[in-house]
Amino acid sequence: MCGICCAVSFSVEHFDKDLKEDLLCNLKRRGPNSSKQLLKSNINYQCLFSGHVLHLRGVLTAQPVEDERGNVFLWNGEVFSGIKVEAEENDTQIMFNYLSSCKNESDILSVFSKVQGPWSFIYYQASSHSLWFGRDFFGRRSLLWHFSSLGKSFCLSSIGAQTSGVASQWQEVPASGIFRIDLKSTSISKSVVLKLYPWKYNSREDVIKECVNSLTQISADLPTFVSVAANEAKLYLKEPVVPLNMILPQATFEIHCSSISSVPPSRETLQVFLTDGHMKEVVQQFIDVLSIAVKRRVLCLPRDENLTQSEVLNTSNRKANVAILFSGGIDSMVIAVLADRHIPLDEPIDLLNVAFMTKEKTIPAGFNKKGRKEKNNCEKRSEESSKNVTAAAAANPGEQFNVPDRITGRAGLKELQAANPCRIWNFVEINVSLEELQRLRRTRISHLIQPLDTVLDDSIGCAVWFASRGVGWLVTQDEAKPYQSSAKVVLTGIGADEQLAGYSRHRVCFQTHGLEGLNKEIEMELGRISSRNLGRDDRVIGDHGKEARFPFLDENVVSFLNSLPVWEKANLTLSRGIGEKLILRLAAVELGLTTSALVPKRAMQFGSRIAKLEKNNEKASDKCGRLRVISLENLSVEKEIKT
């Protein structure tokens, strides 16, 4: 994980040799282990490169990196496959070596077509005065662009500025392909032309049509002096996953479905599917490919290899290197079981479980009468009193934070402890009061969610920020003590619902349009996941100096699931808790899970109870006013606190 930024100016009088303080601060939060800036000046333009590194593999490599020909590279990514990176090597340097040896555009596209893993990058090619940049196929790493109203400068950055009035001008770079800007010609023509090298859909005949549609959509959101055009050579990146299998079943399948749908929803229902030899084999293949994806994501990070024997035996003081956003639902449970396979046994795993204070608060025993009188006015509660509330609730678990995800999380913890009692499972109860939510949204979270701006973005963005921060209570049978997760890697289950028909809208679509409509819905879900979820989640998690990793969006996992007919992934003739994400539930049974295999899908905003916490009449798609105002006054307060 890194914070990368490049500020470009075509006018000397408008060029600032320093990044804005708040932008620089936001970038440093993402990359706390190394910070460096590099200025490249040309008679026609100036480029300020800024790199901030979170060190996770190989030798710490400061960014930006520059070679003897003046090429400059900024990399925020992980090479999990496709290009060989040895355990002791740093993928930033490996990628830069490949790019430095590229002789033409086709060579550059070939490099990025091979990489499997999340990435965003900025690459300055000195000989051609070209600036290349882009995000991976799924958009798993954030990259924003901002064009000045005068048309004399622009900026690319992992994250936007925090200053009032500026945040809304940042937009996400579409994960439509790789872009290139000819800086020299732009400075002469005074207009910015973005050349697009899109992902190629191998099996489709409408490649050109897809590209035209993409260009039109991108251009619609840009200033008038910025245009997007297909590259003259009509070169493309090779899409990293196979196309979605859209095949529809024969009538015999429908008869089979109706016979199974009469079976009561229980673990035995899942066992019925596993009596089919073909289905059992498919499920095992899914477990294998997902297990490899998890393995790549939990082993690519530094560990304490030089511990003494006594330190190894004293597991109580060992720190977790990997954390999981954990609700006890099917997605996080399967990830936890597979992570347990590959993480060294003497290393704890942090299970991060977030809950927001419910409005109907039951003050734990021992609170004074004054506290009881103020229970419906938590906005006015002091920060110290708020801490007391969460501490008391952790020590005496009551109804305040007894939200659905807390209940299923505790149940999931018991399953994991039974499956591997030798592992230390740190169940971290993260309790958030309304006052703390409002204060930190205003001062720390709003700009991370932007440019997304809906009520849904607010709910999920805030929930993920608090969860991934990992500050909470380690609750055991004996005690509850304050705890802060030290894990730099955070695994999330995003991508499972999109591919396996996990949302309620999938069931509605199936009931209305059948399997054909469901196929189209799943295809759309994958197509928009970069703009709908992943950039936001990367910005939110990265703010803590941690890296989000998404096993369900591993290229091989997606290709495997895309290759299956839809009825082998989900059966929405069955009830909730069985039919959605059927193949994942079957995998859970094969992995030895019990109750969690039947937990119905519950969206994070409802499971954590952040939805409707402040307004009951909001719709998820409404614009969220709470995200719009980032006042300079709040920034001043934050600076005073820091100093």
The mean pLDDT of 412-436, rounded to a whole number, is: 96
Q: Which residues are catalytic?
A: 2
Rounded CA Rg of the chain: 25
Phi and psi torsions of 587, nearest 5°: -65, -40
Residue 169 pLDDT grade (very low, low, confident, very high; cuts 50, 70, 90): confident
Q: What is the mean pLDDT of residues 386-397?
A: 47
pLDDT at residue 640, as a whole number: 44
Most confident of 173-187, 222-236, 381-395: 173-187
Same domain, 213 and 331: no
HSE of 292, CA atoms in CB hemisphere, 13 A: 14
Which of 238, 257, 290 lies at the terminal end of a domain, its last residue?
238
What is the rounded average pLDDT of the residues 186-213? 74
The closest alpha carbon to 239, from 195, 281, 203, belongs to 203
Mind giving me the DSSP string for 170-236?
-EEPPTTEEEEEEHHHHHHHSSEEEEEEEEE-TT-S-HHHHHHHHHHHHHHTS-TTEEEEE-TT---
Q: How far is CA 152 from CA 219, 220, 225, 553, in A?
A: 18, 20, 10, 38
**354-384 pLDDT tens trace:** 999 876 544 443 334 344 333 333 333 333 4
pLDDT at 225 over 90: no
User: Do residues 231 and 324 share a domain?
Assistant: no
Residue 286 lies in a domain: no
218 and 323 part of one domain:
no
Question: Looking at the domain assignment, is residue 570 inside a domain?
Answer: no
**In the 8-state DSSP scheme, what is residue 68?**
T
Give a yes or no: residue 279 inside a domain: no
What's the pLDDT score for residue 364? Answer: 41
- The parent domain of residue 366 ranges over 318-548+600-642
Q: Does 351 share its domain with 470?
A: yes
Q: Residue 111 pLDDT more than 50?
A: yes
Q: Which of 193, 221, 238 is the last residue of a domain?
A: 238
Report how far residue 558's alpha carbon sits from residue 564's, in angstroms, rounded to the nearest whole number.
10
357: domain CATH number?
3.40.50
Question: 3-state SS of 530-599?
Answer: HHHHHHHHHHHHHCCCCEEECHHHCHHHHHHHHHCCHHHCCCCCCCCCCCCCHHHHHHHHHCCCCHHHHC
Report which of 468, 470, 466, 487 is spatially closest to residue 322, judged by C-alpha positions: 487
Please count the CA atoms within 13 angstroms of the CA of 527 that sit on its side-chain side: 11
Task: Tokens for 175, please give them.
Answer: 């994960």
Residues 6+ apart with CB under 8 A from 321: 298, 301, 303, 343, 347, 486, 487, 488, 489
Residue 315: pLDDT band by 50, 70, 90 thresholds? Answer: low
Q: Is 18 left (phi over 0), alpha (psi -120 to 50) or beta?
A: beta
Amino acid at 614: E
Instruction: For residues 447 and 334, state if they share a domain.
Output: yes
Any domain includes 67: yes
In a domain, 301, yes or no: no
* Number of independent structural domains in the chain: 2
Burial 173-199 (b: 16+ CB within 10 A, else e): bbbbbbbbbbbbebbeeeebebbbbbb
Q: Give the number of C-alpha atoms closer than 13 A to the C-alpha of residue 105, restricted to the C-beta side.
A: 22
pLDDT digits (tens, 9 = 90+) for 614-626: 888 888 889 998 8
Strands 192-200 and 226-230: parallel
| 3-state secondary structure (DSSP) of residue 53 | strand
**Is residue 604 assigned to a domain?**
yes
Which tokens is 163 given?
């200053």
How far is 497 from 506, CA to CA, in rounded Å? Answer: 9
Cβ count near 622 (within 10 Å): 14
- Residue 313 resides in a domain: no
Q: Are 551 and 293 in contact (CB under 8 A)?
A: yes
Tell me how crowded residue 546 is: count the other CB atoms within 10 A of its CB: 23
266 in a structural domain: no
Residue 231 and residue 138 share a domain = yes
Q: Are residue 225 and residue 334 in the same domain, yes or no?
A: no
Query: What pLDDT was estimated at residue 168?
Result: 53
**What tokens appear for 89 in the block?**
């090597």
pLDDT above 90: residue 11? no
Q: Are residues 206 and 325 in the same domain?
A: no
Do 538 and 637 reside in the same domain of the chain? yes
Q: Does the structure show a pLDDT above 90 at 490?
A: yes
Short-list 51, 50, 39, CA closest to 15: 39
User: Are residue 54 and residue 170 in the same domain, yes or no?
Assistant: yes
Q: Considering only CA atoms, which of 77, 66, 144, 155 is closest in space to residue 111?
A: 77
Of the ranges 235-244, 300-309, 457-466, 570-579, which one carries the lowest mean pLDDT score? 300-309
pLDDT, tens only, 568-597: 999 999 988 899 999 999 999 999 999 999
pLDDT band at 638 (very low <50, low <70, confident <90, very high): very low
Name the DSSP class of 428.
E
Domain final position from 238, 262, 297: 238
Distance CA 630, CA 448 (A): 11
**5-13 average pLDDT score:** 86
Secondary structure of 233-247 as H, E, C letters: CCCCEECCCCCCCCC
Is residue 228 domain-shared with residue 324, that is, in the same domain?
no
Q: Please state, in angstroms and rounded to a whole number, the distance separating the CA atoms of residues 537 and 572.
A: 29
Are residues 329 and 232 part of one domain? no
Burial of 274 (0-12, 13-18, 19+ CB in 10 A): middle
CATH number at residue 142: 3.60.20.10
